[in-house]
Chain A
Amino acid sequence: MSVELFSQVHINFLPGFPVWVSYFGLILLILTFGYCLPLIFKRVSKQGAFRKWLVVILNLVLFVNVIALLSDIQVKRTHVSSATLITVGADLALVEKQLTEHDSKLHSTFVLANSDLINSANESTIENNWQVIHQPEQLLFAKPQLQQLTVIGDGLSEQQWNALQALSQEQSRVPLEIHFAPSTLRSGPIEMRWIKRLVIGEYQKISGKLRIANVDDTASLRKQIYQVSLLQPDGEILETKNLRDGEAFQFSFPVSVRGQWLYTLTVTNTGTSAPEMSENIAFSVEQNTPPNILIVQSAPSFETKHFKNWASQFNTKLTSQTQISQNKYITQYLNTSKKESEEQGLDSLSSYDLLLIDGRALLGLSEEYRNAISRAINAGLGILIIADQSLITDNQNHQFTILSNIEISTEANDSNTISNLLRWSQIQTAQPISYLNANLTSKHPRLKNYQALVTDTQNKPVVLNQNVGLGNVAISLVNNSYQWQLSGEEQTYSQYWQYLIGQISRPSSEVNWLPIDEEEVAYVNDPLRICALGNNNVHSAYYQGPINSSTENLKRTLLLAPSSPITEKQCSVIWPESQGWYTRSLNPADANQTIVSQSSFYVYSKQQWSSWQQSGKHAASQRQVQQSTAAIPKEYLEYVSKYPFWWMFIVVVTLLWIERKY
């Protein structure tokens, strides 16, 4: 039986009993009191008024106490279910300041297991009522109706916030109100990017920004110069830059050795000359995937000769068809065979990744062959046309569907060739080279499906690439890049062609692991999503590591699941337990075959890149704060404790006994 008083107090007499029992009990109690009251009056009638009223009041209070003791009394309250999450970087002072703002009775405090408070030597920093969790989502299991969350310290990463919000939506369907008390900024490099997987000769580009923790004197901070150095694995300094707080930096260098490498980025205060910060930059240099190239030329040339010499030494399959007479050809197979290369038919183009052809040879192709090339380009083939005067002056090019999107033109009275320095992908040659003096433009500039792969110092395209279907059509005005080779600039020459092949060729169709994104790194005990681009031939996958540890040879199975909508991309999530280099392998379905693809990745400890982590987490947490809405307080009934009523009962009964006695 329940009664509501003033819409705030809820009284439930004899809870747990049937309603009729409650009614009967109450009536019995009232009748008893009603019967006893006159008798009380009668007993004390001869006493003084004070004593009379005292006895009456005491009995009344006793009656109320008995009812209270036999009832559940609840009071209506409104509050917001809140919690505090202490993350990495939170110090005790900051935590105490935040917690004083909350009612400790209604508020829960959670600590992430890797936070500094847990790891500190002083055990008394952890209060008894704080709960230690390993993942942020765990606090929702402890407090399912959480409405307000205060995060102290570095905050959570974007990934962690997404997981937390998703779980919160699933459970309470109410968005969380987020408050964030950021930790003190830490100095170090932030917003880092670098390529995690390269081949020999590729340029590694490491970029970032320097952040120095705010000191009292902001003016002197702006004047202070820091030296950011990149060190090779053997400790030699590769490059050094002088920077101030907030300035960006970029290091670029070609990688030269296969393997897993740890370069070191150090930040030194030029005033003290002692390294203040040092972080590892990990990337692997792996075996190249050599292309299968078809060369069709109308006459022998030094350009293709040097190209073949360079490409063939790295296991590139080259098929070269050179016209030496009207109907006579020389066909060369380098690192391949005629049988392997298939007959020179229309269907064989699907087996090639790149077609290298000069203008005259292109114009001399039959209609059938041209159509076959067009189909192959739509299916993914890349074609690089070495322009010559024939291509520029011939009137047929506009009818050739391949060339219908690119326009080649010359200015009157211009010389046939010019000489200039060339640029591509942040590389500029030191030695100028001569090339055809012509203009390359796209006929559909609004589509934005063309790129100037190589330009000169006036930003004029020298190699223009157009995306056609799944393939690429590129025209190059350079027909004597071998000049670099002959001048001893072998590195420039090889980088030029490596770049062009990488931009134009058909992408590799081999089963392979996808590299980790440039701006991401993997941390210990953080979920890491690793994906492979497979096909039906992949049977299983596993990973091992870290290298040089006791678990180096332990194979742990990876369960790859298709990632829609690109179903051939299969991913798995792992939680690496230790820092170091790991190896992941794909096994083919056929047990007799060797491992299909092997790739390495590096896992950092949580203590590394602390400023970068903090920067990312601060930004993600601030975004969450901006996007969150205020929580609506909820009503709830709070039980009132019966201890006061019990003590009151004891006191009243005692007083009544004393009164009766005396």
Chain B
Amino acid sequence: MQKDGTDILLNQLAVQLKTAKTRFIYHYIWQSIPLLITLSGLVFLFTNNVYFTCFTALCVTIVRVTSLFVLKLLKRFNLDNYLLYLNQQFSELEHSAQLLSRHAQLNPLQQLQKDKIQSKLQTLFQYKSPNLTPMYSNNRSILASLLVSLIIVGLVFVDPVSRLSSTFANHDDTSTTKPDAKTAIIWQETTITPPSYTGLASQTQNNLDLATIANSKITWQFKFNHSAGDKYIHISTSQAVNTAEDVAIDAKNKGIKLEKRQDGVFSITHTFLHSSVYYIRDDNGLIGGVHSVMITQDIAPKIRILTPKQTISTFAKSSSPVLEAEVHISDDFGISNVDILASVAKGSGEAVKFRDQVFSFDEVEMDNSSNKTSGVHKKTWNLIELGMEPGDELYFTIRAQDNKLPINQTARSETKIIKWLEDEQDLLMSEGMLIDFIPEYFKSQRQIIIETQQLIADTSFLSEEQFTLTSRSLGHAQSDLKTKYGQYLGDEFDDGSGNHGGDSDAGVPEVHVKDGDHNDDLDKHDDTPQRALGSHENNQANSHVADRASPHTDDHHDPHHADNDSGHDDKSGYQQAIETFGHNHADTDVGVMGTQSPKALMKQAIAHMWEAELYLQLSDPIKALPYEELALKYLNQAKKAERIYVKRLGFEPPPVTESRRYQGDLSDILTYEQQQTVPKNDQEIENIRLLLSRLNNLSQPVTNADNELLESIKQQFNREAASRPALMVFNATIERIQLSKSFELADCQACIPELQSELWRQLPAPVAEPNLPQQKYRGNNPIMQRYADFLNQQTRPQ
């Protein structure tokens, strides 16, 4: 019986033990939960990856479960330990509960105690006393779990959109891209909307290097392989303009943030006033490459007065004072308004009165009526209808406005003068009155050369149409200049093409000239031909020239006709071959300055201007350039000839002897010293040289000094971009170098060589530097000194 009672009690104890074990397990699990949440949450925060988070949780769980067995935590739950626990919890057991587990023979005292304990224990079981099994409090664990969960959730939901979107994006991302893969553009589209007044249609393209008109609106649309995160467009320009619709620039100056649409497309719209370079980037850095936006400015209208050609037109008193004025006006996009500003001057001296009036043209013939970009405007001036009398003068200038918005551009032509002469007098030379006003578009020969060189350099960057337009506009400028200089020579030479007949001396351009006035009836011609010196057969040439002069008498008012007559009969190319291989203008010996006629030099200059104009009109600036340079050379020589001529006539005082020098009052004259450090000028040229030299060593990384140099070159190109938008391509290269911090651009092999070529082109003719000679010995060498002494003895005066 007792034995049965003990067994029953032991069974009960076993049940309680099992309960205790279960409680412990639950407690252990609760203890693990805060740790699990903490670790998983941290992993999720840093990696933003659900799978990785779950994996971490699983690992933690496995570790905890494994530690349960490794540390043998459950083995503590055995009968002996449980009886010890009961002894501690219940004092009535008198620390004798372990007797129940002893199956060995007990002594009578132990047996008595055992029986006693057994009954007490049964009583405890019967009344289900608390503390029969250990109680584990999970409150702390629960609290900790809640707290950690709140923190983790809070951190996750600081930026819920990006985190959730990136989380789900990772879910959707079926590629095997790793989390730190580079962002790339997978689709792009650019829409260029020119200003409405240009009449140009919008165009859409995929190329990110753009060329358009100023004030064009450009809309970019991109799709990226990683659409998470912000994307920016960084625009670099010295005259950056942010229009009202631009998005606020990020505080870290990353650029303008692209707007993201629902379909995952990023877009931005920006209006450009000046050439720029730009690139797309995100928080990790550059996306794709650096691109350029070449902006062509809207040019003001061009006005060419076809007739009258001369600045001053005169009418005799008895003649009919009617003048047909013909003007060609052109603009790149359209002309909005054309009028004539005229002033009538009546009287002379202090009694002269001016009457200003605005006229319009009588007749307009537009080349293209729909675009109204160019046309010929005609006006008939009848001085009598204007209320003028002999002795009065009419000044008029053409004013044209284009259709540029918001503010149009105005151009004015040169002023033409119509004189109605008072007395029967000889027609005055055209040099009689100087016109100081030079319209702003009137280019000098040097400017024409510079622009021709620029046009040649930009050939590969310009479209055919743009190239032709630019070349022809330069041709017009050359023509205007030629006409202007021709006026000072009486504009009476006709063979402006420099026709080299077979009888002329080799190397000497033959120009048929008549000095004096226009009137062929008057006997005041100077038929002495103006030939360039170097000809040793002037006499023969004189007669030859005189013979040839007469056929051209009637043609001198029509230079175009002369143009047709001269130099273009050579259809086989024979003449050109002669000129190329046998007749080199550059070697023409113009002789000693002092014995040349300035007029002859001017005429030669104009002859070359004819050729230059011809090739420019034919869109061949390469052939025109040598003629332009020759024209400039002769122009300069003509100016020098004038000066020397004047100098010769000047008074040369007798030399001052030493005894007569400095005989004046010397009391106020001070002896002083001054010290100066001269800085180097032409920093821009020096920067170009430094960068060229630096580009010799591409393997070295970009230093701070290199960055400053690149920045200064970039600013220089920005300033020149207004007239040469093609320079933006090189700015894009410089931007690439600065962003990659290396001169080796793997994604653009030709960029550095092209930049080098442009830098070489920009270099002017070098100014020589003073330099000491180098020798292979020192002066203090004893052998050299003895040799010097020997030489001295030889050269000592006897």
Contacts and interface: CB of A to CB of B under 8 A. Distances in A.
A524 to B, nearest CB: 20
A55 to B, nearest CB: 89
Interface residues of A, number: 99
B769 A288 contact: yes
A491 interface: yes
Contacts of A535: 778
A260 B698 CA distance: 13
A31 interface: no
A491 B797 CA distance: 40
B766 A390 contact: no
A204 to B, nearest CB: 11
Nearest to A260: B696
A494 B767 contact: yes
Contact of A258 (B637, B693, B771, B783): B693
B593 A432 contact: yes
B351 interface: no
A332 B677 CA distance: 11
A333 interface: yes
A497 interface: yes
B776 A514 contact: yes
Contacts of A416: 652
B681 A259 contact: no
Interface stretch (B263-271, B418-426, B757-765): B757-765
A334 B677 CA distance: 6
Contact of A432 (B592, B699, B760, B795): B592
Contact of B778 (A311, A469, A568): A568
A467 B753 CA distance: 48
Contacts of B792: 378, 468-469
B777 A569 contact: yes
Nearest to B757: A234
Nearest to A292: B772
Contact of B675 (A329, A333, A491): A333
A426 interface: no
B511 to A, nearest CB: 21
Interface in B746-798: 753, 756-757, 760-761, 763, 765-779, 781, 783-785, 788-789, 791-792, 794-795, 797
B357 to A, nearest CB: 44
A548 B699 contact: yes
With most chain B CB atoms within 10 A of its CB, the pick from A444, A470, A568 is A470
Interface stretch (A90-98, A179-187, A194-202, A652-660): A194-202
A547 B700 CA distance: 10
Main secondary structure of the interface of B (DSSP, over half): loop
Contact of A338 (B675, B693, B698, B773): B675
A562 B633 CA distance: 54
B753 A234 contact: yes
A608 interface: no
Contact of B770 (A236, A257, A314, A380): A314
A6 B753 CA distance: 82
Interface residues of B, number: 66
A470 B765 CA distance: 35
A24 B465 CA distance: 116
A641 interface: no
A334 B678 contact: yes
B109 interface: no
A490 interface: yes
A290 B771 contact: yes
A345 interface: no
With most chain A CB atoms within 10 A of its CB, the pick from B672, B699, B770, B776 is B770
Nearest to B696: A259
A200 B690 CA distance: 13
Given A467-B791, A468-B792, A487-B636, A332 B673 contact: yes
A129 interface: no
Nearest to A337: B675
Interface in A484-543: 487-488, 490-491, 494-495, 497-498, 501-503, 505-509, 512, 514-515, 531, 533, 535
B760 A311 contact: no
Nearest to B794: A447
A498 B778 contact: no
Interface in B713-768: 753, 756-757, 760-761, 763, 765-768
Contacts of B767: 200-201, 310, 490-491, 494
A331 B673 contact: yes
Given A201-B766, A236-B760, A333-B673, A469 B771 contact: no
Given A432-B592, A491-B768, A507 B794 contact: no
Interface stretch (B285-293, B430-438, B663-671): B663-671
Contacts of A232: 760
Contacts of B670: 328
A470 B788 contact: yes
A237 to B, nearest CB: 12
Contacts of B771: 199, 202, 288-291, 498, 501-502
A290 B680 CA distance: 14
B671 A330 contact: yes
Contacts of B794: 444, 447
Interface string B648-684: 0000100100100110001001111111111111000
Contacts of A507: 772-775, 779
A512 to B, nearest CB: 7
A612 B689 CA distance: 33
Given A255-B766, A333-B675, A512 B774 contact: yes
Given A234-B756, A234-B757, A329-B671, A390 B774 contact: no
B763 A256 contact: yes
Contacts of A261: 696
Contacts of A289: 771-772, 774
Contacts of A332: 673-676
A517 to B, nearest CB: 10
B697 interface: yes
Contact of A314 (B676, B680, B760): B680
Nearest to B663: A326
B646 to A, nearest CB: 14
Nearest to B652: A416
Contacts of B693: 257-259
Contacts of B692: 257, 259
Contact of A566 (B753, B757, B783): B783
A80 interface: no
A310 B769 CA distance: 9
Contacts of B675: 332-334, 336-338
Contacts of A497: 768, 770
Contacts of A389: 655
A176 B675 CA distance: 69
A569 B770 CA distance: 25
A328 B671 contact: yes
Nearest to B676: A334
Contacts of A404: 795, 797
For the complex of A and B, the 9 pairs showing the least CB-CB separation, nearest first, are A201-B768, A259-B693, A256-B766, A498-B768, A494-B768, A312-B678, A234-B757, A507-B775, A508-B772
5 contacts: A200-B768, A289-B771, A290-B769, A325-B669, A469-B789
Given A256-B689, A311-B770, A469-B792, 4 more contacts: A233-B760, A491-B768, A507-B772, A533-B774
Interface of B: 592-594, 633, 636-637, 640, 644, 652, 655, 658, 661-662, 666, 669-681, 689, 692-693, 696-699, 753, 756-757, 760-761, 763, 765-779, 781, 783-785, 788-789, 791-792, 794-795, 797
Interface of A: 199-202, 232-236, 254-261, 288-291, 310-314, 316, 323-338, 353, 360, 363-364, 378-380, 389-390, 401, 404-405, 416, 419-420, 430-432, 444, 447, 449, 466-470, 487-488, 490-491, 494-495, 497-498, 501-503, 505-509, 512, 514-515, 531, 533, 535, 547-548, 552, 565-569
